[in-house]
Amino acid sequence: MICVSEILVVKEKIEVYEKLMSLEAKQIDLVDYLAALGHRPQKIRNKDYWYLSPLREEKTPSFKVNRSLNAWYDHGIGKGGNLIDFGILYFNCTVSDLLQHLSQYQSTPISFFHQHSPAHNLPATAPFFADEKKETLSEGKIIVLEARPLAEISLLKYLKKRHIPVDIAEKFCKEIDFLLYGKTRTVIGFQNNAGGYELRSADFKGSSSPKEVTFFDHNKEELKVFEGFFNFLSHQAINKQEIDPLTNFLVLNSLSFFLNQRERMEQYQQIHLFLDRDSAGMKFTQQALQWSKKYIDQSHVYKKYKDLNECLIKQQEPRHKQSHRIGRRF
């Protein structure tokens, strides 16, 4: 039996580890990290890099990163800080969750990213090109090289692991080659309304710029809202027999887009929410339920799981590994 003292020792070790990880994470170059997330500066003035805020929707860049200090400040919301502070707001998560995300990013340690150093700064006169093919500011920018039908064996295996039928994925996804840090990768790409891609594979999670939502208009009076595209694909797999979609679909691609999509969502008579059952997803769900009776929380269908895809995976395990299955459409 594990005694209380042993539990306290383990807890103390975890706390020490998280402190060390936090210190290392704070040294990641913010400009590189934003580039890896698909955000690029709109202008550069000396050491200041100005962005359209990744935390909200805006037309005039008011999100500043001082590369010398490796710190950010969003003038629109009056908040700023280091990379940890940014990540918590961007992903709506805890410090522990963010550190886990950073440690798993590209399946390499946090040190994968360039460590912040004054020598890493670019000249103040460095040009900025709107055309992605001409973009030379940072090798940390994701550059999409090619999009084609899904065929790579490793990606098909990944879809199978996530219990997404290939014929479903083929309708909505492409096989993407992209360049990052001088290395070419091949992943599954889900395109947004602005032409950017959500990029996934067994060992990569990221996005190319511009970051935006994905909206499917089937001229219906109801809307279904998903946080990420694997949950959307899971819904399509579960309702595979529906030839004619009964609703329109909105895939947020980031929970940070939820608030600025309110006007679009409330154009519909009913809005079915399939957000993650974590603290951030439930927070926005509860907020929407207070906005209007149009909103309907559908996360009760997968209440024992984090999200719809996890539910799909667990429910399709062999009978001896689970006691119930999905028995209804939604």
Tens of pLDDT, residues 281-312? 999 999 999 999 999 999 999 998 999 999 99
pLDDT exceeds 90 at position 200: yes
More confident residue, 308 or 327: 308
More confident residue, 168 or 318: 168
Q: The sheet that has 43-45: what strands, in order across it?
A: 43-45, 48-51, 63-66, 71-74, 79-81
Q: The domain 15-128: what is its CATH number?
A: 3.90.580.10
What is the rounded distance in angstroms from the CA atom of residue 4 to the CA atom of residue 230? Answer: 41
Residue 105: per-residue pLDDT: 47
Domains 15-128 and 214-321 share a fold: no
Please report which confidence band the pLDDT of residue 256 belongs to, taking 50, 70 and 90 as the band edges: confident
Give CA angle at 278 (277, 283), nearest 5°: 90
Thinking of the domain 214-321, which architecture would CATH place it in?
3-Layer(aba) Sandwich (3.40)
Contact 150, 181 (CB under 8 A): no
Pairs from 150-156 (Cβ < 8 Å, separation ≥ 24): 150/174, 150/175, 150/188, 151/175, 152/186, 154/201, 154/202, 155/186, 155/187, 155/188, 155/201
pLDDT exceeds 90 at position 108: no
What is the rounded distance in angstroms from the CA atom of residue 198 to the CA atom of residue 208? Answer: 7
Give me the amino acid identity at 329: R
Listed by start position, the domains of the chain span 15-128, 143-207, 214-321
Please report which confidence band the pLDDT of residue 129 belongs to, taking 50, 70 and 90 as the band edges: very low
What is the rounded distance in angstroms from the CA atom of residue 113 to the CA atom of residue 24? Answer: 10
Please report which confidence band the pLDDT of residue 177 belongs to, taking 50, 70 and 90 as the band edges: very high
Tokens of residue 22, six digits: 């936090």
More confident residue, 126 or 85: 85
pLDDT exceeds 80 at position 72: yes
HSE toward the beta carbon, residue 285, CA cutoff 13 A: 20
Q: Which of 61-65, 100-104, 165-169 has the lowest mean pLDDT?
A: 100-104
Residue 141: per-residue pLDDT: 76
More confident residue, 107 or 217: 217
Residue 232 bridge partners (DSSP)? none
Q: Average per-residue pLDDT in the chain?
A: 80
pLDDT exceeds 70 at position 159: yes
Q: What's the rounded mean pLDDT across residues 252-269? A: 93
Give CA angle at 314 (308, 319), nearest 5°: 145
Contact 150, 175 (CB under 8 A): yes
Q: What's the rounded mean pLDDT across residues 99-117? A: 50
CA distances (Å), origin 192, targets 113, 211, 283: 26, 7, 24
User: How is 39-57 classified by DSSP, letter by letter?
Assistant: ---SEEETTEEEE--TTS-
Residue 78: per-residue pLDDT: 82
Judged by phi (left if over 0) then psi (alpha if -120 to 50, else beta), residue 2 lies in: beta
Please report which confidence band the pLDDT of residue 12 belongs to, taking 50, 70 and 90 as the band edges: low
More confident residue, 299 or 256: 299
